Chains A and B, each alone.
Chain A
Amino acid sequence: MKSNKYIQNHLDQLMNSAENPSQLSTSSDFEDTLFARFDAIDAQTKPKSATIFSISEIQKYAAVILFLVLNITVILFYTTSTDSSDDPQDIVSEYSDEYFPDYATLTSLE
């Protein structure tokens, strides 16, 4: 059985240890590890850059003109190549024969 005096003395000693802990220092590789982590963060947060192509003013104008020429060519090609051989009169007579049969045909059906 410990005496009260012993316990109080021990408690004083423990309080002293709690109030005055030995001051610690970081390990020798602390800075190296930390700066390696900083490098990793930088690598993650670095903005990703795409390859940028730069062209001169003349090239820009040439590209626009080429684009326009190609478009106009395509439009002209389609408008000129549409079949214009159909005579409007032929079309009318074709449909009128189908929908408005002549009198003889009608009477022959009776």
Chain B
Amino acid sequence: MEEKEFIQKLRDKDRNAFMQLVREYKDPLLNVCFGYLKDVDDAEDLTQEVFTEVYKTIGNFKEEASLFTWMYRIAISRSLDELKKRRSLKRAAYFEKRVRSEAAELEMSQKVSDFSNPEEELLQKQQQEFIKYCLNELPETQRTAFVLSQQDGLSYKEIAEVMEKSLSSIESLVHRSKQNLRKIMEGNYENYF
């Protein structure tokens, strides 16, 4: 089916077309959102938001970009909005909830897997937190390029389309993001480990 025809079906709120769209893009979009939020539940909620926005606004989609580019842009902008909201609100309650849920999660995983090493698990968590912190320190464009470059099957050309930049600038952005991330990690290593 041609994209135009498929988009028209989506505009007509054809449930089968939406089912196809959701099945194709739910995991890639989840991974994009997770790349920013680093929390599976939050990333899944945000992925739902992305599809809901697509459902509501498909009528306004002007087809200047491809459907996939448009959806990735929504996912990125929603993720960045969420991060900004969290930063600006400094929600103590949110972090409290997170700490509690993480503690509960750890406790549960310990109960479930008696053979797993709690120290190792703690180290894993610590490492994930460290990576999340360092990624948050990257400038926004570098972070977006980095997150998208991790996506399975997403070429630099497609990243360039999503970010509305040239192919060469994407290559350089991804390269710089890796260099910067390494520097940030080196600078903060002692504080974490």
A binding-site residues for B, Cβ under 8 Å: 2, 7, 10-11, 14-15, 17-21, 23-27, 30-31, 33-35, 37-38, 41-42
Query: Chain B: residues with CB nearer than 8 A to chain A?
Result: 13, 15, 18-19, 22-23, 26-27, 30-31, 34-35, 40, 43-44, 47-48, 51-52, 55-56, 127, 130-131, 134-135, 150, 152, 178, 181-182, 185-186, 189, 193
Residue from B19, B35, B131, B152 within 8 A of A31 (CB atoms)? B19
Contact of B22 among A17, A34, A41, A42 (CB under 8 A): A34
B28 to A: closest C-beta gap in Å: 9
Q: Is the interface of A mostly helix, strand, loop or mixed?
A: helix
Task: Determine the chain B residues whose CB is within 8 A of the CB of A18 once the complex forms.
Answer: 131, 134-135, 181
Q: CB within 8 A of A21: which of B150, B185, B189? A: B150
A41 to B54, CA, bound (A): 12
B182 & A27 in contact (Cβ 8 Å cutoff): no
Among candidates B34, B40, B44, B185, residue contacting A14 with C-beta atoms closer than 8 Å: B185
With A15-B181, A18-B181, A23-B31: A10-B52 Cβ-Cβ less than 8 Å: no
A44 to chain B: closest residue by CB: B56
Give the distance in Å from the alpha carbon of A10 to the alpha carbon of B31 in the complex.
Answer: 25
- Inter-chain contacts of A35 with B (CB < 8 A): 15, 18-19
Docked complex Cα distance between A37 and B134 (Å): 35
